[in-house]
A and B are shown apart, each in its own frame.
Chain A
């Protein structure tokens, strides 16, 4: 198994269908549509309900509001599409507590491997692409359980609940396995993800340096 190529994609429709186009994306199952992410230039963005699909990246950015008490799930999830210079909405991201069409949905984000792996692939969150620390306030400030970025693997099944809790992502101490075993052949791995900000835990501000990271093995 040589080093596989990996492709990150997202479904920008409200239709919960699999990525049948693999590395190329495009029209998928159940009238879904899969967009291949530009790993070097695109980014994910969690925004308030004021942000609209297709907004220009040079326009106003509406951040998630930290509530006076308790927690608040980001109302909308976007991919900042650098080539089109727009916010491209991911309507099925998150749970039913958000402000879009999230919930017990399976086909939201995909990572397509074009070959086998030697181990289970992981999805992680870090302070930067150096992968040395995961202590940013939005990653829990050193307490992984407090990370605002929460994800759930949906490769083999939907979450099972429209209000899935997910696993807080912070470095290698808290991350998700994207499948149950090493990949024997090319395959799409799926996950859903949300941001949950909590009063008293997360501080107003922004961090554009946080990264989501795929970790995998090959030989």
Chain B
């Protein structure tokens, strides 16, 4: 499972498999030079999650570590977020069930009523769109 970022200057970044490796959201080349035009994630079954036109974007992995659990921390979900005009659209992909949830929240209260870190610049002024496309 890899996500792809297309920056405004045409640079395209594809992450490593985010189920296994450091997702690299904080270290992608070009992140501070230009805004993000769109983010996409190829999904099983010939579908693609697409977010574009947002003022800013975030991505994060939800992990858990249980006392008494062998094998260390495990991934619970992946979150792809876009913010526009004070609201955040969150797409949550459950790692175990593959269930996909779409939610909306007020900017700054997007994760169970709390803020998240790691937001990156989009392209202000464009109309925000997100959805699952069939290829």
Q: Which residues of A contact B (CB under 8 A)?
A: 1-3, 6, 8, 37, 39-40, 42-44, 116-120, 122, 126, 129, 131, 172, 177, 181-182, 184, 211-219
Can you list 5 residue pairs at the A/B interface with Cβ under 8 Å? Answer: A1-B26, A3-B73, A129-B69, A213-B66, A219-B118
A-B pairs, top 9 by smallest CB distance, nearest first, are A219-B25, A118-B60, A129-B69, A211-B66, A182-B117, A219-B60, A129-B66, A40-B70, A213-B66
- Bound state CA distance, A40 and B62, in angstroms? 20
Question: CB distance B114 to A219 under 8 Å?
Answer: no
Residues of B within 8 A of A217 (CB): 60-63, 79, 111, 116
Write the nearest CB–CB distance from A212 to chain B, whole angstroms: 5
Supposing A3-B73, A184-B117 touch, asked if A218 and B66 sit within 8 A by C-beta, the answer is no
List the B residue with the shortest CB-CB distance to A120. Answer: B114
Residues of A within 8 A of B114 (CB): 119-120, 177, 181-182
Write the nearest CB–CB distance from A106 to chain B, whole angstroms: 21
Residues of B within 8 A of A118 (CB): 58, 60, 116-118
Q: Which of A129, A172, A214, A219 contacts B23 (CB 8 A)?
A: A219
Question: CB distance B22 to A2 under 8 Å?
Answer: yes
Question: CB distance B61 to A218 under 8 Å?
Answer: yes
Number of contacts between A and B (CB, 8 Å)?
A: 102
Question: CB distance B60 to A215 under 8 Å?
Answer: no
Residues of B within 8 A of A215 (CB): 62-64, 76
Question: Given A119-B116, A211-B68, A219-B59, 6 more contacts at CB 8 Å?
Answer: A3-B22, A37-B67, A39-B69, A131-B66, A216-B62, A219-B26
- Bound state CA distance, A117 and B115, in angstroms? 11
Which of A120, A214, A217: most chain B CB closer than 10 A? A217
- Bound state CA distance, A185 and B66, in angstroms? 22
Which of A116, A118, A182: most chain B CB closer than 10 A? A118
- Bound state CA distance, A37 and B69, in angstroms? 12
Q: Which of A117, A126, A214 contacts B117 (CB 8 A)?
A: A117
Write the nearest CB–CB distance from B39 to chain A, whole angstroms: 13
Residues of A within 8 A of B61 (CB): 3, 217-219
Question: CB distance B117 to A119 under 8 Å?
Answer: yes
Residues of A within 8 A of B26 (CB): 1-2, 219
Residues of B within 8 A of A214 (CB): 64-66
Residues of A within 8 A of B25 (CB): 1, 219
- Bound state CA distance, A177 and B73, in angstroms? 18
- Bound state CA distance, A216 and B117, in angstroms? 12
Write the nearest CB–CB distance from B48 to chain A, whole angstroms: 21
Write the nearest CB–CB distance from B81 to chain A, whole angstroms: 10
Question: CB distance A218 to B60 under 8 Å?
Answer: yes
Question: CB distance B76 to A43 under 8 Å?
Answer: no
- Bound state CA distance, A170 and B123, in angstroms? 41
Write the nearest CB–CB distance from A24 to chain B, whole angstroms: 18
Question: CB distance A6 to B73 under 8 Å?
Answer: yes
- Bound state CA distance, A130 and B14, in angstroms? 31
- Bound state CA distance, A3 and B65, in angstroms? 12
- Bound state CA distance, A40 and B70, in angstroms? 5
Write the nearest CB–CB distance from B16 to chain A, whole angstroms: 12
